[in-house]
Amino acid sequence: MEGDECAVIGIYAGHLFLVLLDSVAGRFGRWARAQARADTPPFWTQMPRLGRTVSSSG
């Protein structure tokens, strides 16, 4: 494969990845807002290590 083809494929792959990431982030954002409205305990209460990190840094 020539270098130019490789670069084009890399650009397309990067673009696809960003689009996918944006879509996932949007879904996660909606899910997080729904969780906040649903008055459920935050997800870090199920993960004590992360919970300690969040509470100590905050």
Domain ranges across the chain = 3-57
pLDDT digits (tens, 9 = 90+) for 11-53: 999 999 999 999 988 888 888 888 777 666 666 666 666 555 5
Write down the pLDDT at residue 34: 81
* Whole-angstrom Cα Rg for the chain: 19
Q: Which residue, among 35, 49, 25, has the nearest Cα to 57 in the 3D structure? A: 49
Are the C-beta atoms of residues 14 and 7 closer than 8 Å to each other? Answer: no
